[in-house]
Amino acid sequence: MNSAELVKQIEQKRSFLCVGLDSDLSLIPRKFRQEKDPIFAFNQAVIDATHTYAVAYKPNIAFYEAMGPRGWESLQKTMEYIPKDIFTIADAKRGDIGNTALKYAQTFFDPASSGLNFDSITVAPYMGRDSVEPFLTYHDKWVILLALTSNVGSHDFQMTKSEDYMPLYERVMRTAMSWGSPEHLMFVIGATRSDFLQKVREIAPDNFFLVPGVGAQGGSLEDVAKYAMNSNVGLLVNSSRGIIYAGDDTSVSAAREAKKIQEEMDRYLDEYRK
Amino acid sequence: MNSAELVKQIEQKRSFLCVGLDSDLSLIPRKFRQEKDPIFAFNQAVIDATHTYAVAYKPNIAFYEAMGPRGWESLQKTMEYIPKDIFTIADAKRGDIGNTALKYAQTFFDPASSGLNFDSITVAPYMGRDSVEPFLTYHDKWVILLALTSNVGSHDFQMTKSEDYMPLYERVMRTAMSWGSPEHLMFVIGATRSDFLQKVREIAPDNFFLVPGVGAQGGSLEDVAKYAMNSNVGLLVNSSRGIIYAGDDTSVSAAREAKKIQEEMDRYLDEYRK
């Protein structure tokens, strides 16, 4: 999917909501556990309930890997079930040297390889350029690079200032922007503080940001819209647990929570799109 | 496996060789491609040929993931086939926030979860403490943290000096050493320059280092032994392509190349163990 298609979908749905499919056998409602493939059955219910409000789905790969081969099968079936006009994110946070990065790119981008055909993948920047570039060679596919994450540990290294007083997350963003255009490169930006949101939008005026940390992790959606929206919207805001585990009757509760966020986003699109 | 058992095995085999199982359908000898599970058949041949010379096996997870569910099945079978006294490394370079890191830990450490039971996993440090700690809670399991890698891109961020002139890889090592003891924490150190090898051993005198980049990637084994061996040996040196793809008759060629490296290591254990 290219950015024009993504923006068009955002405009049609009046939403920049990404639903995180962190589907965990021990947390899904009991009734799904009797199904042959409980995770897929649960994901179907979530997708049915939310696809009119969401513009993206983001399975966190750890939850599928942890179940071994049958987890990968649930993931394949889920990917086939997601409507084709919705953007998909493999939240995999991979990062390895060139020939291995190419294998990871095949895994998530090349259906002939693993059966998966994601639009994008999250990638860790620690190993530098040659660990990111293999993902950027795919047409209409995206790298979503970790920049400033929303967890406590983000302070350990991401905030470290270098000799020229530039924090590491900023160096990662500025360096990566020379590797790929805003047509292929998004950043993961943890939504916690308004001053950081302003700063990262200043650093990368045209890139999309994937923003976790709204909802269960505690960020304010209005701050994200107010300080980081650009003329292309430029935002995908994720909610996982707050939507998918909102109640035992998933069809009702997930729809209700997704709609609530979509309606808020609708207002912010009027108010803050520059 | 604990460090005493690992060191004992190194002493018995007079080797600190790790064989990288980067098994790729397009690179393995033609005869294996006719097997029902070509990757597993190839890995069996490599393991049969090298297990008397190697103290560790390191499947790079990307190569298995790229094949979808059947790749994970090949990986499971390979893990079951590796002799129980040999150290195993999931070269996965994972790294995510707490509850997701826990899922990744289950994937690779908890056989009841995914069917896999690795001794260790490689982890990326970018997201900080809470992305690493869940792996450290497992008894007799190890985190092998990316510190200084061997690829060109390692210069992009790992070498960046902070306000106090400490390069990022050093900050990663010193910070991580407060999270876990040398009984649970190793570092990935790319074997390229002798001055760096001396430096990292100075920073972490007691930790094991996993050293890729000897062989196909071009480092000198003697330099690694000379500058980074400690009283516990403290080294696992990996070779992948140089061993597993050394010839069409894998049983002969992999054994020959592994033996060659083991004999060199035998000499260095006499010469450089402090």
pLDDT tens-place string over residues A100-114 = 999 999 999 999 999
Q: Decide if pLDDT at B217 tops 60.
A: no
Q: Which of residues 18-77 of B touch A (CB under 8 A)?
A: 22, 24, 60, 62-63, 65-73, 76
- From A113, A150, A171, residue closest to B66, measured CB to CB: A113
Cα torsion A198, A243, A252, A262 to 10°: value is 10
Taking residues B254-265, report their average pLDDT: 97
Percent of chain B whose pLDDT exceeds 70: 97
Q: Do the chains contact at B175 and A157, CB–CB below 8 Å?
A: yes
* Predicted confidence (pLDDT) per residue in B8-26, tens digit: 999 999 999 999 999 999 9
SS3 A54: strand
Tokens of A212: 């976790």
Q: Chain A residue with minimal CA distance to B116? A: A68
* Predicted confidence (pLDDT) per residue in B119-146, tens digit: 999 999 999 999 999 999 998 999 999 9
Q: Decide if pLDDT at A177 tops 90.
A: yes
Q: Decide if pLDDT at B36 tops 60.
A: yes
Q: Decide if pLDDT at A218 tops 70.
A: no
* Predicted confidence (pLDDT) per residue in A38-55, tens digit: 999 999 999 999 999 999
- From A97, A98, A158, residue closest to B126, measured CB to CB: A158
Residue B146 touches chain A, beta carbons under 8 Å:
yes
- From B69, B128, B132, residue closest to A155, measured CB to CB: B128
Q: Could you tell me the pLDDT band of residue B218, with boundaries at 50, 70 and 90?
A: low
Give the pLDDT of residue B216: 56
Q: Do the chains contact at B130 and A153, CB–CB below 8 Å?
A: yes
Strands A54-59 and B17-21: unpaired
Q: Mean of the per-residue pLDDT values for chain A?
A: 95
* Predicted confidence (pLDDT) per residue in B166-216, tens digit: 999 999 999 999 999 999 999 999 966 788 999 999 999 999 999 986 765
Q: Do the chains contact at B161 and A163, CB–CB below 8 Å?
A: yes
Give the pLDDT of residue A195: 86
From chain A, pick out residues whose CB is under 8 angstroms from the CB of B64: none
Element (H, E) at A189: strand A185-189
Taking residues A7-29, report their average pLDDT: 97
* Predicted confidence (pLDDT) per residue in A22-39, tens digit: 999 999 999 999 999 999
CA distance B6 to A273: 59
Question: Residues with Cβ < 8 Å from A165, sequence gap 6 or more?
Answer: B163
Q: Could you tell me the pLDDT band of residue B116, with boundaries at 50, 70 and 90?
A: very high
Domains observed in chain B:
3-272 (3.20.20.70)
Taking residues A167-188, report their average pLDDT: 97
Element (H, E) at A79: helix A69-81
CA distance A26 to A120: 27
Give the pLDDT of residue A66: 96
Q: Do the chains contact at A104 and B62, CB–CB below 8 Å?
A: yes
What does the DSSP 8-state code read for residue A32?
Answer: G
Give the pLDDT of residue A194: 81
Q: Decide if pLDDT at A166 tops 60.
A: yes
Give the pLDDT of residue A130: 94
Residue A132 touches chain B, beta carbons under 8 Å:
yes
Nearest-CA distance A233 → chain B (Å): 27
CA distance B255 to B81: 17
Taking residues A63-80, report their average pLDDT: 96
According to the 3-state scheme, what is the secondary structure of chain B?
CCHHHHHHHHHHHCCCEEEEECCCCCCCCHHHHHCCCHHHHHHHHHHHHHCCCEEEEEEEHHHHHCCCHHHHHHHHHHHHHCCCCCEEEEEEEECCCHHHHHHHHHHHHCHHHHCCCCCEEEECCCCCHHHHHHHHCCCCCEEEEEEECCCCCHHHHCCCEECCCCEHHHHHHHHHCCCCCCCCEEEEECCCCHHHHHHHHHHCCCCCEEECCECCCCECHHHHHHHHCECCECEEEEECHHHHCCCCCHHHHHHHHHHHHHHHHHHHHHHHCC
ipTM passes above 0.90: yes
- From B95, B130, B157, residue closest to A93, measured CB to CB: B95
Give the type of residue at A208.
F
Taking residues A193-203, report their average pLDDT: 92
Tokens of B226: 């000379």
The b-or-e profile of B234-266 (16+ CB within 10 A means b, else e) is: bbbbbbbebbbbbeeebeebbbebbbebbebbe
Taking residues A112-139, report their average pLDDT: 95
Give the pLDDT of residue A215: 65
Percent of chain A whose pLDDT exceeds 90: 91
